[in-house]
Amino acid sequence: MGAADTVPGVSGGTIALILGHYDRLIAAISQIDSDAVKLLLSGQFRALSRKIDLRFLAALAIGIVVGIGALAGLMHWLLQHRMNETMAVFFGLVLASVWVVRRNVAIWTPGRFLAMVVGTVAALAISQIPASPGEINLGYLFLSAAVAICAMILPGISGAFILLLLGVYEPVIGMVKQFFQLDIDPLLIIRLTVFTLGCGFGLLAFSRLLNYLLSHHRDVTMATLIGLMIGSIGRLWPLQAVTPETAELELKYQETVFITPAQYDGSLILLIALALIAGGVVLIADRVTQRLTGLSD
C-alpha cells in the first residue's frame, strides 16, 4: 500500500481490497473516536488495542512507511531526470483509473452527471492555479495531507494523485526522500510533523464525512470524485518542459510549461507506449480485484 501511494493513479485502498484487508482497515479506522482517545489518555492500552485493532493498524502503518521510503527516492529521481516519461506513466494510470472508478456509480442519472461536471470544473479551476515553486506553506501542507489521506479509504482514488492535484506532490516526495537519506534538519522535522498531523486529522475528521457521504449519497459522491479525476488529467500531460530559468534548480523550485509535439525532442512513440502500458496495468489490476471479490462488470 505504501509503494502504491507514492504513484499518482494507483490507490493504496485498491491494494488493500486486492489483498483482502480493506474491510478490516475501514472497520479499524471507524473505531478511532472520542472513546478511543479516552482509553488512550486513561492508560487503558489493552482495551484501546482491542477497540481499534491496534496490532493490525500498527503493522499496516509500519509496512506503509517502508513502502513509501522504498519508492520515494526513485520517484524523486524520475521526476527530476525523466519527467516526460514519468508524466506519461501517470497520465495512463489516472486515465485508466477513471474508467475503473466509473463502475462505482450504479446508475448514471442527470443529477450524477451534473455532480461529475461540478467535480470536473472544480478540478480544472484548482489545476489552473499556478503552483508556487519552492517552500510550502505549513497550513496548506496540513490541509493537503488531510485531504490526501482520505484517498486511502476509496479504492481507485490515489493519495499521491490528490497531492499532485494540490501541487504538493513533488515537495512531499522530496521531503520523504530527504528523511530516509538521514539528511535531517529542524525545518524538515517541522514539515513532516505537520504533514503527519494533517494525515491524522484527515483520518479522524474527513474520513467520517466521506463514510457518511458514501453510505447515504454514494453515487453522487463517486460521480464528483470521478469529475475531480477527469478535470485534473491535464496536469499530467506528458508534453511539458522545465523553464530554462529554473532548469538547474532543485526539483521543488522548478517551473514547467506545456510544449507542442514539434517542440519535444524525445520519442513521442515512447510516451504513448508508456501511457498505454500504465493504463493496461490498472485495468489488469482491476480485473484481478473483480475476480478476488466476486464482482463482475
DSSP 96-114: HHHHHHGGGSSS--HHHHH
161-195 pLDDT, tens per residue? 788 778 788 888 888 888 888 888 898 899 999 99
44-53, 184-193, 288-297: which range is least confident on average? 288-297
Give residue 277's pLDDT. 96
Q: How many domains does the chain have?
A: 1
* 297 has a pLDDT exceeding 50: no
Range of the domain at 69: 4-293
How far, in Å, CA of 148 to CA of 141, rounded? 10
Sign of the torsion angle spanned by Cα atoms 69, 75, 77, 80: negative
248-267 pLDDT, tens per residue? 766 666 777 888 898 898 89
Closest CA to 24 of 10, 13, 40: 13
> For residue 229, how far is the Cα from the chain centroid?
11
Question: pTM score, two decimals?
Answer: 0.69
Say if residues 65 and 53 touch (Cβ distance below 8 Å). no
